[in-house]
Amino acid sequence: EFSSHDVIFKIKEAFNRNIGSKIFVSGVDYLETNGSLSRSWRLESVQPFELGWHPPHPGFYARRSLLTRLGGFNEEFRIAADFDLMLRSFEVTEINEIVVDHGKVVNMYLGGVSNASVRNVLKGNSEIRRSFANNGKQVTIIYTIKRIAKKFLDRWQ
């Protein structure tokens, strides 16, 4: 859910103030099913995805022209289609074309498909590795181990 009633306006205004921008990215609060705060993710700076950084998908917004150019979601990825779209988006976007919001725009309830089971966590990570390969990027097995460990730690803290 949006974190306030004016989130769409805030994103629109950010794009309008930064005419050449292609991406808006902001923070997300993760909520338990009862509404209590589990953890927060805030954007400090944009980093390479290969280092393990990427924004949560609900905090990622892009201009239609960019999404059209990229062909939208790659439906070959059942769990990591959002990751793949963000990876491709950041790959073709210059740093000065990214609007960074240090606050948050979304409250995201825990329990999505990617975390629904151990099998889904492993499948999602396999898809992420394929996304990197499809985009000419290599990641080490350490990257994957760290991602999987973080998923489990975040879920069962």
- How far apart are alpha carbons 2 and 23 in whole angstroms? 18
Spatial neighbors of 5 by CB under 8 A, at least 6 apart, are none
How many CB atoms are located within 10 Å of the residue 113 CB?
A: 11
pLDDT (tens place) for every residue of the chain, 157 residues total: 999 999 999 999 999 999 999 999 999 999 988 999 988 999 888 988 888 888 999 999 999 999 999 999 999 999 999 999 999 999 999 999 999 999 999 999 877 665 556 787 789 888 999 999 999 988 888 877 777 777 666 655 5
pTM of the full predicted structure?
0.86
How many CB atoms are located within 10 Å of the residue 136 CB?
A: 7
* DSSP β-bridge partners for residue 98: 23
